[in-house]
Amino acid sequence: MSTTSRRLETLALLQTHPGISAPTLAARLGVTERTARRDIAQLRELGYRIDGSAGRDGGYRLAQGRAMPPLLLDADEVAAVALSLRTAVGVEGLETAAVTALAKLTQVVPSQWQTRLTALTDVQAYQGRSPRRASGDVLVQLALACRAGEAVRFRHRPMGTADDRAVEVQPYRLVALRRLWYLVACARGADEWRVYAVDRISQAQPLGIHLPAPSPPDDAAQLVAQSLAHGRWRHQVRVAVHTSGDLVRELVDPSVAAVVDTGDECELQFGTNDLDWAARWLAYLNLELDVIEPVALSARLRVFGQWLAERY
């Protein structure tokens, strides 16, 4: 192969085989060890940080540098990146960057991948009416804080209020659910993990410290779903459903309601501020059910049923 092709192949081997030795690298490339070492030196001059260790167990590996060198991606990796860029929603300030990054990717991929990539660029992501948008800067700061285990201070506006307040938390995970972003974190002095909607967060700043926090949840995504279903709602609803829990789970998003098995049947448990919405949603499920609580929901279901009968 040409010198350029050989060095690109060297980069690919370094990415896929961290710690590869000079003899193995030379054998894979079909060159002498001296040539392989010369290629490593040339790649270092081009800005790639390649660490090397001597000895029987030594070898070369790519390390983090100060600049972003070119990446080598295979066809599946290109497809994954392109699809992610095309459907990037819910993050304010990153839409333009996603479009330009996709354009650059389309220009440089091999011709045999163009058809595949063009098909993916035709995918459209519907954002819906008045989408809630998380700030790109805030999202990056929170992601870095989660990765470093570093406490962060931000302004947070609770749902249903117009004013925000300063909060200091120990972050744990960012979770994307239904095209929205949520932060699982423990507030200073608290003894439980909470869920914060990232679109309600502003002015995130790392504190450079670690705040005391309880053991992290086993499943952050499940905690977010449970928080949305059972959060600080005006009404907590329990409904007995006369069918198996497995069937109901196929119909119900876990972030809307929890399904609890009760023998051969199950319960639906969820929170809401609007019992009329709950009545309409339960009717939409088209399941045999009885209201356990609140009693007022039974009355709303009867009113809704009477309206349907009179209307249709």
Q: How many CB atoms lie within 10 A of CB 307?
A: 10
pLDDT in tens, 214-261: 999 988 988 888 888 777 788 999 999 999 999 999 999 888 898 999
Instruction: Report pLDDT for 296.
Output: 95
CB 29 within 8 A of CB 9: yes
In the predicted model, is pLDDT for residue 68 greater than 80? Answer: no
Which stretch of 47-56, 168-177, 195-204, 221-230 has the lowest confidence by average pLDDT?
47-56
Three-point CA angle 261, 265, 269, nearest 5° = 55
Contacts of 225 (CB under 8 A, 6+ apart): 177, 253, 254, 255
Average confidence score pLDDT of the chain: 84
Tallying the residues shown for the chain, one arrives at 312
pLDDT in tens, 126-136: 555 446 778 87
Q: How many CB atoms lie within 10 A of CB 303?
A: 12
pLDDT-derived band at 180, boundaries 50, 70, 90: confident
pLDDT in tens, 48-67: 888 888 766 678 888 876 66
Instruction: Report pLDDT for 177.
Output: 79
pTM above 0.85, yes or no: no
Q: How far apart are CA 274 and CA 279, in angstroms?
A: 9
